[in-house]
Structure 1
């Protein structure tokens, strides 16, 4: 089964230029069987598909729900939760990486760094947090080992790191524009139809293949060194936006922790009955 595992839509990402329906249409034309929607800190692209497209058109095409989460200290993370789990906190950017890992794993999800050797501030390996906590790679379930919008060297380093830590590799276009769609793929050994099935494949270390071609139309390609100005602007924006949601995140964190404790307590009572 062939999928694009890193997709941005205009419904869910501020920098997305393609509607999710046009995205699906293009991938179908290119012979893909599905996609993982990974908008920035938002499920709105997936919601658009679920509300207005699912069951009406593109009936043989599988759309999976994911998110590209902006941590406060470790760059971008791709997160996939079981289909029956809804966590509002994942749409509130700015969690520190250890808390994100704890929440995702507690509720049965998987996560891995997007473009881990990519742009400064956006990518794990370039962060101060990683330099002080390199063993954090052992906590991930997969790693994006091919990203069409990153240099070949960055992808090669990601492949080596994934192999070293025994992580599954994903390939994703990271496309925000039409001409980038379909430049990367992930091939699963069997057909799936929902997120929990993908999670199960990753956890049982099923053979997953990936590949693609590099996209030459990125902002970095077009404006050269001026791209650094955008990177610094992103860093500032992410910090401000992350701190602005602290109160909401804390409230959600307390709620999730309480729910977990209650669930564990109820399970213990049933086990003793």
Structure 2
């Protein structure tokens, strides 16, 4: 089973122009089995059957999640029913995750880390005047507060994704992949493949926590396992 674990629609993300209908259609066309809707700082209501009905038309799975802006960058939280006050502080968010059994993923942690500006635009090193080494990056406190790292993000370049991969590996964290799609064009590049059938959020969290998954990418209309050499193909 392959899911896109990072996607935004007009239902909950003002920077997206992707409708739920078009998302479902494109996910089906690209050979995915479903997705997580990770809207910005909000989560669609549990009893909102409209979204599930649309995905059911294509026999697809759809799961609720949320992308939260924190003091350590953007975090995808899977397993919450709502946004909890104070979650912009990652240490507080970690406590909520432990309390409610949620799974936390660092989304695109190395985005813009190799920028040409004098001062860093990366959220972990914003304002710094240097590019951190991979060892410094890997030792960031962020990676002690999350359960997984997004090592393939459709909005990142390969060098940024490679930094995330190495940090995940160095910290022995679960690796996930998602397109971060805000439009149809981004869907189908990356996904996370699960060993087991995922029928609900509880299944999803269980399989992530037990690392019964792997990041995959689409090549020649087939889903293939991530190889480290892929990061050097740009």
TM-score by length of 2: 0.77
Match of 2:179 among 173, 176, 182: 173
1:105 match: 98
Contact 1:74–1:123 (8 Å) recurs in 2: no
Distance 1:187 1:146, change over 3 A: same
Match of 1:143 among 149, 155, 165: 149
Q: Work out the CA distance in 2 between the residues paired with 1:96 and 1:179.
A: 33
Rate the CA distance shift 1:182–1:14 in 2: closer, same or farther, 3 A.
Answer: same
Check if 1:86 corresponds to 2:85. no
Q: How does 1:1-273 map to 2 (within 5 A)?
A: 1-44=1-44, 47=45, 50-55=48-53, 57-58=56-57, 60-71=59-70, 73-81=71-79, 86-89=81-84, 95-119=88-112, 125-127=124-126, 134-212=140-218
Aligned to 1:255: none
TM-aligned CA deviation for residue 53 of structure 1? 4.1
Q: Indicate conservation of the 8 Å contact 1:5/1:36, yes or no.
A: yes
The DSSP-based 3-state class of the residue aligned with 2:39 is coil
The answer as to whether partners of 1:76 and 1:122 remain within 8 angstroms in 2 is: no
Cα deviation, 1:190-237, whole Å, max 9, x if unaligned, reads: 110111111111222224232358xxxxxxxxxxxxxxxxxxxxxxxx
- Consecutive unaligned residues in structure 1, runs of 5 or more: 214-273
**TM-score in terms of structure 1 length:** 0.67
Considering fraction of residues, name the structure with more helix. 1
CA distance in 2, matches of 1:48, 1:17: 23
Q: Which whole-Å CA distance do the structure 2 matches of 1:42 and 1:162 have between them?
A: 26
Does the 8 A contact of 2:8 with 2:37 survive in 1? yes
- In the aligned structure 1, how far is the partner of 2:179 from the partner of 2:47? 19
Give distance in 2, aligned partners of 1:147 and 1:24.
19
Matched-pair contact (CA < 8 Å) for 2:12–2:42:
yes
Q: 1:117·1:126 contact (CA, 8 Å) conserved in 2?
A: no
> Going by fraction, where is strand more abundant, 1 or 2?
2
Q: Distance in 1 between matches of 2:58 and 2:25?
A: 11
Q: 1:146 to 1:154 in 2, by over 3 A?
A: same
CA contact (8 A) 1:66 1:78 kept: yes
Report the count of equivalent residues.
Answer: 204
Instruction: Name 2:231's counterpart in structure 1.
Output: none
